[in-house]
A and B are shown apart, each in its own frame.
Chain A
Amino acid sequence: MGFGLLAQYAMNGLMLGMMYALVAVGFTLFFGVLDVIKFSHGDVLTVGAFAALAAFVGLRSVGVDSSAVQLLAMLIAAIGAMAILGALIARAFVMPLRSAPPLNTLLITLMLGTALREMIRLFYPDGANPKPFPRLLPNGFVRIGEFNLRLDNVIMLTAGALVIIGLELLLRRTKLGLAIRAVAQDEETAKTMGVNFTLIVLVTFALGSGLAAFAGVMNGLYYNEINFGMGLYLGVVGFSAAIIGGLGNIYGAILGGFLFAALQTIGAIMLPFASAYKDVFAFGVVIAIMAWRPTGLIPEKQSERV
């Protein structure tokens, strides 16, 4: 295999890893503050991507042609809308069920994810079919030997890395981040120290959902196509990535995302004849990982297994 192809695989793996990591970080944030798994996370990502597409269509119809403005507006629309949606979901469906068995939270978010998915399929114009996503990033490339380093990929990777660094700074350097970490560590103590628990939970859900929306836009820009079912796939993979890294651990989630993408890429290189089976392989890996390390490589902060 030549250098060019190998570099292409590596680039693809990095892009996938960045998206998985962004989704996994959301799962891990929610689990941190509320000890719940929000299965609708992947579908929030889909809704975010569609919100961005709707914003693009709206802007184009009023005659805004600058792709930078379009992209900025799409990101603001998607991230803003999903942050609100995430907080609403937490308020309406996750928090009321705090005293119920954890199974009920799981089921209600699973059903909510289905409802979101179906709403896009049914109510977005022609939502049942894959929709083309605009190419808004500069499409130049730098030639390195046989490999074309595409500029848009570099921009996306950098943006993703910046978002993750920003999140890290937010969590480690600000008062809000301190409050989130306090709630994650010990809810009761955080409350006695004057942390507004409800507000922090809602903000965390907004934050995680905003990250999902960013990942959704990134996914659309990378594949130039979005469909109503993409969130289900990314949700399951993102959750597995969060588990590989140990739920409740941000670095673990990022590591898990890239690890999962690496596994998938290696699978694609090793089994080129079976490219049709790449999703089968991905889900097989998910199941195998759960069988091998049920609570992840870095164990969960409070293992529920006795």
Chain B
Amino acid sequence: MPSQLNKAAVSIIPGAGALALATLYLIAMLRVESQTTILVLLGIGAAVVVVAHWLGWLAPVALSFQERDDALARLAVVAVVAIAGYFREDHFVLLLLCTVLLYTVATLGLTIQFGYAGVLNFAGASFFGIGAYTSALFTQHTTVPHLVVLLVGGIMAALVGCLLLLPVLRTRGHYAAVVTIAFALLLKTFLEVNDVLGGPQGLKVKGLSMLGWSFNDNIEIGHLEMSFYVSYLAASLLMLIGAFVIVRRLERSWVGLNLDALRLDETAARCFGLNIVRWKVTAFLLGNFLIGAAGALYGMLVGFVQPNSYTFADSLIFVSILLLGGIGNPWGVVVATVIVVILPEKLQAIQEYRFLLYAALVMMVLLFRPEGLLPRPVRSYLPGWRP
């Protein structure tokens, strides 16, 4: 590889091609109903990836994703819009897509905490749930504009996270893990026994409405009819774009560099004058904000919240997504979320076994490929620069 590789030299075509193929594959996957066809499709998909890896075709794809990040991100948005357009009348598929997008936002929040700053959080689903409960309370009992409610959901998750700041800052590794696990268990029990918050039955959430436009009505433009989930998909996509941009910019900035430094060696980072506490707090609260905001929208999307949707096992699903995708790589998070959310919904046979399967999958990943499916590339400040 020549050292003076510049931006124009790295073609966008391999990345765009892979994206187009993935889009078509996803449409096919979401379209088919028969379990055997799904299994065949899965087999084909796995075979294609293995063969491409064997022929060395994955390297140019990875390179173009690394170098032409922004352009490919825009194409990915187009791809989501295309999928949504194809399934515009299919409630179930659109709901699934919204779930994927919002889970991705939440896992991006975890990426900031866990992937960059190295702050453990095994209560991801709890903070997601706090966002959802916030949107339930605010939409039912106040007239706060719903767009603000999404922000409040994020802020509430960050505020509740503040309760954990002291123990999380003072502990590390397994100690920090047990703090967040204890919090996840605490919150679920609390929600179950607290009558004000609906107890085990949970609460209803009003649908999102903005400037007189209710998101829970089907859309009719001329003869074109669309499911009301299309509006939610648009909102989720916007939120994901925002989160993605934040994470990308954060990683590339000096803030990301500081976070990496303190994750890799806290003592050395402190010797270089980094304020450990400040950056850990920033990462933890920012991550929680993203998780909470995603949770608030998710609550409006599904219309109800209950303690059983936000258990410790669900938190582990978030962590599984993170590990599967490759810690610290936002693209990996996207791919892993698609796999983790869509697969059990399509393959009904494994629906019941999903926690077990993901646990086994993550154990395999940790044993044989600890860097995840898409390992995080070295951060490049100058386009095309190679050490």
Stretch at the interface among B75-83, B96-104, B173-181, B229-237: B173-181
Which chain A residues border B186 with CB–CB below 8 Å? 279-280, 283-284, 287
Select one of B174, B178, B316, B370 contacting A100, CB under 8 A. Answer: B370
Is B189 engaged at the interface, CB distance under 8 Å to the other chain?
A: yes
Cβ B190 vs Cβ A277 within 8 A: yes
Is B349 engaged at the interface, CB distance under 8 Å to the other chain?
A: no
Is A110 engaged at the interface, CB distance under 8 Å to the other chain?
A: yes
Which chain A residues border B358 with CB–CB below 8 Å? 111
Which chain B residues border A103 with CB–CB below 8 Å? 120, 173
Cβ A107 vs Cβ B362 within 8 A: yes
Is B220 engaged at the interface, CB distance under 8 Å to the other chain?
A: no
Rounded to whole angstroms, the CA-CA distance of A7 and B167 in the bound complex is 35
Stretch at the interface among A48-56, A113-121, A200-208: A113-121
How near does chain B come to A10, taking the closest CB pair, in angstroms?
25
Cβ B182 vs Cβ A107 within 8 A: no
Cβ B122 vs Cβ A110 within 8 A: yes
Please name 30 pairs of A and B residues whose Cβ atoms are closer than 8 Å in the assembled complex, sorted by A.
A37-B177, A39-B177, A97-B366, A102-B174, A106-B173, A107-B323, A108-B366, A110-B177, A111-B358, A118-B353, A118-B355, A118-B359, A122-B356, A232-B312, A233-B185, A239-B178, A243-B178, A279-B186, A279-B189, A280-B190, A283-B182, A283-B183, A283-B186, A283-B189, A286-B179, A287-B182, A290-B179, A291-B170, A294-B167, A306-B266
Known contacts A232-B312, A233-B185: A240-B166 contact under CB 8 Å: no
Is A126 engaged at the interface, CB distance under 8 Å to the other chain?
A: no
Cβ A236 vs Cβ B356 within 8 A: no
Cβ B182 vs Cβ A240 within 8 A: yes
How near does chain A come to B159, taking the closest CB pair, in angstroms?
16
Interface residues of chain B: helix, strand, loop or mixed (majority): helix
Known contacts A96-B367, A115-B359, A291-B170: A286-B182 contact under CB 8 Å: yes
Interface residues on A, range: 35 or more
Which chain B residues border A96 with CB–CB below 8 Å? 367
Is A276 engaged at the interface, CB distance under 8 Å to the other chain?
A: yes
Q: What string of 1s and 0s marks CB contacts (under 8 Å) between B151-186 and chain A?
A: 000000000000010110011111101110111011
Interface residues of B (CB under 8 A from A): 120, 122, 164, 166-167, 170-175, 177-179, 181-183, 185-186, 189-190, 193, 266-267, 312-313, 316, 319-320, 323, 352-353, 355-356, 358-360, 362-363, 366-367, 370
Cβ A304 vs Cβ B172 within 8 A: yes
In this complex, what residue of A is CB-closest to B270? Answer: A306
Rounded to whole angstroms, the CA-CA distance of A119 and B352 in the bound complex is 11
Scan residues 22-55 of chain A and give those whose CB is less than 8 A from a CB of chain B: 37, 39
Which chain A residues border B316 with CB–CB below 8 Å? 110-111, 114
Interface residues of chain A: helix, strand, loop or mixed (majority): helix
How near does chain B come to A78, taking the closest CB pair, in angstroms?
22
Cβ A112 vs Cβ B171 within 8 A: no
Cβ B183 vs Cβ A287 within 8 A: yes
Cβ A286 vs Cβ B178 within 8 A: yes
How near does chain A come to B22, taking the closest CB pair, in angstroms?
27
Cβ A122 vs Cβ B353 within 8 A: yes
Rounded to whole angstroms, the CA-CA distance of A115 and B316 in the bound complex is 11
Rounded to whole angstroms, the CA-CA distance of A277 and B187 in the bound complex is 11
Cβ A114 vs Cβ B193 within 8 A: no
Rounded to whole angstroms, the CA-CA distance of A276 and B194 in the bound complex is 9
Which chain B residues border A112 with CB–CB below 8 Å? 359, 363
Cβ B174 vs Cβ A118 within 8 A: no
Cβ A93 vs Cβ B178 within 8 A: no
Which chain A residues border B352 with CB–CB below 8 Å? 122
Known contacts A122-B356, A236-B182, A284-B186: A111-B174 contact under CB 8 Å: no
How near does chain B come to A108, taking the closest CB pair, in angstroms?
5
How near does chain A come to B173, taking the closest CB pair, in angstroms?
6
Select one of A106, A114, A240, A306 contacting B355, CB under 8 A. Answer: A114
Which chain A residues border B189 with CB–CB below 8 Å? 277, 279-280, 283
Which chain A residues border B323 with CB–CB below 8 Å? 107
Select one of A108, A114, A240 contacting B313, CB under 8 A. Answer: A114
Cβ B190 vs Cβ A287 within 8 A: no
Is A158 engaged at the interface, CB distance under 8 Å to the other chain?
A: no
